[in-house]
């Protein structure tokens, strides 16, 4: 036992000594680099590291520095639509536009002999010290385990906290964020697939699979697209990197990456993980009180308002229409609110810059949630308002799904999708067109909804979302304001009732 302890101390001391020598030699070589991230290692527009870098991705520039350890990983990864330049002179990345003679190096250089020797020595020392530590730990457990067999144990059962939604703030603080989008910097994103451990498949669909993974001690959602759906992956990546898109009721984006598995390319979209799943899944096994129904509907409306709104400022955000809003594309958070996901079909519009970007994804939306003008093909494809109006039609259907699972007078209906009693489980385009356009049918509303003030108001909003004429429908902002007032009045009534009691 004493011999093992002595060996461990010697190995740890040797490891620290070599690390200190290696660190000192590296610190002497640190460069002054231009840095534009504004957080983390950036101080007054500069940072110190072993490598200066300049990157260009989709028109977004980034400058900064990093250590020798990740030199090869960051400077020599080859990705389409990425320009990367690394250099080893003070402020060598300070140029406004890249000089014409700068080209990214195609292949990484070999480590020279001293660096290779030090790396192998450190690896050997760490492995040996770890093995010795493991032996000591097992011996300690065996020696003390017998004494605790009959002792009292304080067993704590871990529960998912109510009302606390993970913000992933600690993870983002580890990196220099550029401020240009909602996720991590491109340099970090390009290595995400190698840092995440996939734990459990939590969903499958036509796009591919969704997995729960772990990254830096936190659960994350990994949406793995099939290769045939590359356009959706590219579109979602593009939209999630939109400036000022981050919002409590929009699914939080972390990163997007490509990786290779079994000789095939996988397309990953990494987002916040919400263990309650989609609104569709949640409503299968959960019923709601009217106040919970109201807050859930309000949160969806808030998310849609943020998407639909163009922000004109120093960091402009274009208006975005979802085009595939449904309960399967809405996730439920721990605090009972919802967030909107799946932006693969979204349309982007900027009135200030006069452009409409419909994308070139051949995939269409979900037939059950399509508005009449989409089904009869009378929608104005060149007018952005048309796409927002189709979102409102779908929003009314989502509210209908939530209200069915809301208890009023002790009555609640089982979950059913919209138009469940009029079309089959997987309706065709023509079947939906007949019901919605020709017969002009609307989902039926149970009489119990009209006996409660909250559900009665939500039912009225649904009807005004389902007008056959698109311009007659409510706007997302109008829906949010009406629900916000209803929520305020409800809180006031509850507080008054408590005071009276």
Residue 324 annotated among the catalytic residues of the structure: yes
Q: Find the catalytic residue in 324, 357, 382, 426.
A: 324
Other CB atoms within a 10 A radius of the CB of residue 29 amount to: 10
The pair phi, psi for residue 417, each rounded to 5°, is -75, 160
What whole-number distance in Å separates Cα of residue 386 and Cα of residue 379? 7
Closest residue by Cα to residue 432 from 375, 364, 374 = 375
- Paired with 339 in beta bridges are 331
The pair phi, psi for residue 223, each rounded to 5°, is -95, 115
Q: Determine the 3-state secondary structure of 347 from DSSP.
A: strand
Closest residue by Cα to residue 298 from 253, 346, 345, 330 = 330
What whole-number distance in Å separates Cα of residue 80 and Cα of residue 57? 9
What whole-number distance in Å separates Cα of residue 399 and Cα of residue 479? 11
Q: What is the 3-state secondary structure (H, E, C) of 279-341?
A: HHHHHHHCCECHHHHHHHHHHHHHHHHHHHCCECCCCCECEEECCCCCHHHEEECCCCCEEEC
Could you give the angle at the alpha carbon of 224 between the alpha carbons of 220 and 226, nearest 5°?
175
Are 48 and 28 spatial neighbours (Cβ–Cβ below 8 Å)? no
Are 347 and 384 spatial neighbours (Cβ–Cβ below 8 Å)? yes
**H helices, E strands: number in the chain:** 14, 15
What whole-number distance in Å separates Cα of residue 240 and Cα of residue 56? 18
For 310, the token pair is: 């163009």
Q: How many residues does the chain have?
A: 501
- Paired with 88 in beta bridges are none
What whole-number distance in Å separates Cα of residue 479 and Cα of residue 304? 10
Residue position matching structure tokens 């200190």: 20
Closest residue by Cα to residue 311 from 245, 356, 357, 384 = 245
DSSP annotation of 96: S
What residues act catalytically? 324
């Amino acid at each position: 036992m004493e011999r093992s302890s002595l060996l461990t101390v010697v190995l740890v001391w040797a490891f620290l000594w070599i690390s200190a020598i290696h660190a000192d030699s590296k610190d002497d070589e640190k460069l002054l680099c231009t840095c534009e991230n504004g957080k983390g290692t950036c101080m007054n527009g500069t940072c110190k590291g072993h490598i200066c870098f300049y990157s260009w991705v989709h028109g977004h520039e980034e400058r900064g520095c990093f250590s020798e350890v990740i030199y090869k990983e960051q400077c020599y990864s080859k990705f389409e639509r990425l320009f990367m330049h690394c250099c080893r002179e003070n402020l060598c990345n300070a140029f406004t536009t890249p000089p014409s003679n700068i080209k990214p190096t195609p292949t990484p250089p070999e480590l020279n002999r001293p660096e290779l020797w030090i790396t192998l020595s450190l690896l050997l020392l760490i492995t040996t010290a770890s093995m010795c530590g493991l032996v000591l730990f097992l011996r300690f457990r065996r020696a003390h385990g017998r004494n605790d067999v009959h002792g009292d144990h304080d067993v704590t059962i871990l529960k998912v906290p109510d009302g606390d939604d993970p913000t992933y703030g600690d993870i983002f603080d580890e990196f220099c964020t550029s401020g240009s989008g909602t996720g991590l910097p491109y340099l970090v994103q390009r290595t995400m697939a190698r840092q995440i451990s996939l734990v459990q498949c939590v969903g499958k669909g036509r796009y591919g699979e969704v997995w729960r993974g772990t990254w830096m001690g936190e659960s994350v959602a990994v949406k793995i697209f099939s290769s045939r759906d590359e356009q959706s992956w590219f579109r979602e990546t593009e939209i999630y990197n939109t400036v000022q898109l981050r919002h409590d009721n929009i699914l939080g984006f972390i990163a997007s990456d490509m990786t290779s598995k079994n000789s095939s390319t996988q397309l990953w979209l990494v987002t916040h993980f919400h263990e309650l799943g989609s609104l569709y899944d949640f409503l299968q096994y959960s019923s709601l009180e009217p106040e919970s129904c109201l807050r859930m509907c309000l949160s969806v409306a808030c998310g849609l308002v943020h998407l639909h709104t163009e922000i004109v400022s120093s960091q402009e955000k274009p208006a975005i229409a979802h085009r595939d809003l449904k309960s399967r594309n809405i996730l439920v958070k721990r605090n009972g609110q919802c967030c909107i996901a799946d932006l693969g079909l979204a349309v982007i519009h900027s009135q200030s810059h006069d452009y409409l970007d419909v994308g070139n994804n051949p995939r269409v939306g979900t037939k059950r949630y399509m508005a009449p003008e989409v089904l009869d093909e009378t929608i104005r494809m060149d007018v952005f308002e048309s796409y927002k109006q189709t979102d409102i039609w779908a929003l009314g259907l989502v509210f209908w799904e939530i209200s069915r699972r809301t208890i009023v007078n002790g009555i609640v209906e089982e979950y059913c999708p919209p138009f469940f009693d009029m079309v089959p489980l997987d309706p065709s385009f023509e079947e939906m067109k007949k019901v919605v356009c020709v017969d002009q049918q609307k989902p039926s509303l149970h009489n119990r909804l009209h006996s409660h003030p909250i559900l009665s108001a939500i039912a009225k909003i649904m009807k005004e979302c389902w007008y056959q004429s698109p311009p007659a429908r409510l706007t997302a902002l109008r829906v949010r304001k009406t629900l916000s007032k209803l929520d305020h009045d409800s809180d006031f009534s509850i507080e008054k009732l408590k005071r009276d009691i």
